[in-house]
Amino acid sequence: LAGHRQEVCGLRWSPDNVTLASGGNDNKLLIWNAATHKQQWRLTKHRAAVKALAWSPHQHGLLASGGGTADQCIRFWNATTGAHVRSVDTGSQVCNVAWSRSSNELVSTHGYSLNQVIVWRYPDMSKVATLTSHTSRVLYMALSPDGCTVVTGAGDETLRFWNVFPPPRHKAARAGPSLLVPAGLDIR
């Protein structure tokens, strides 16, 4: 698939594996149809590289994308129609975004200049928590298998574990603190 004019720096499949989102250093977000291998949408509102991509598990076709240092926005798109739904200026480079599986919330990691991890409530994009232990760009993020814990890796050569999302509704309350997350790092 050819569509970007500079390096591809973000890729994410939709939950139903029908659509692929690609972000590039050309500041473009492209939406691809997996069956036809054709570009559906070329989205051009970002003003910097688009690395951070995440599909909502709660609303079909809702895609979050994050822009680099010159953009600093998380943008939301209806990937079915190509419509820009909304955006929020985060005040710093957006490195990663991920949705909660159990609540309509997402977490973002940031680089220059704030080096933060932020938990947001969607759709109003109010901040649930701002986590500031990293001293350098928060370049990497992974969600635990249970969907409650996020681990972040930064240029400060540290990994940090954060209990940011509630457990899935179908499960009983968790049995005490996670072995991965030391007591005191829960945000709820």
- Environment class of residue 157 by beta-carbon count within 10 Å: exposed (0-12), middle (13-18) or buried (19+)? exposed
Query: In the prediction, which pLDDT does 181 show?
Result: 53
Q: Report which of 111, 44, 96 is spatially closest to residue 66, judged by C-alpha positions.
A: 96
Query: In the prediction, which pLDDT does 5 show?
Result: 87
Instruction: Give CA–CA dist 106/165, Å, rounded.
Output: 9
**Which residues, including other chains, have CB under 8 Å from residue 80's CB and lie 6 or more apart?**
60, 61
C-alpha dihedral sign at 122, 125, 127, 129: positive
Query: In the prediction, which pLDDT does 187 show?
Result: 75
pLDDT digits (tens, 9 = 90+) for 21-33: 999 999 999 999 9
What pTM did the predictor assign?
0.89
Biggest alpha carbon–alpha carbon distance for the chain: 50
Query: In the prediction, which pLDDT does 28 show?
Result: 93
**Residue in the block written with tokens 């500031």:** 132
Other Cβ atoms within 10 Å of 155 Cβ, number: 14
Instruction: Give CA–CA dist 142/137, Å, rounded.
Output: 15
DSSP annotation of 162 reads E
Collect the ranges in the chain with pLDDT lower than 70: 170-185, 188
- Environment class of residue 188 by beta-carbon count within 10 Å: exposed (0-12), middle (13-18) or buried (19+)? exposed
HSE, side-chain direction, 13 A CA sphere, residue 64 = 28
DSSP annotation of 186 reads B
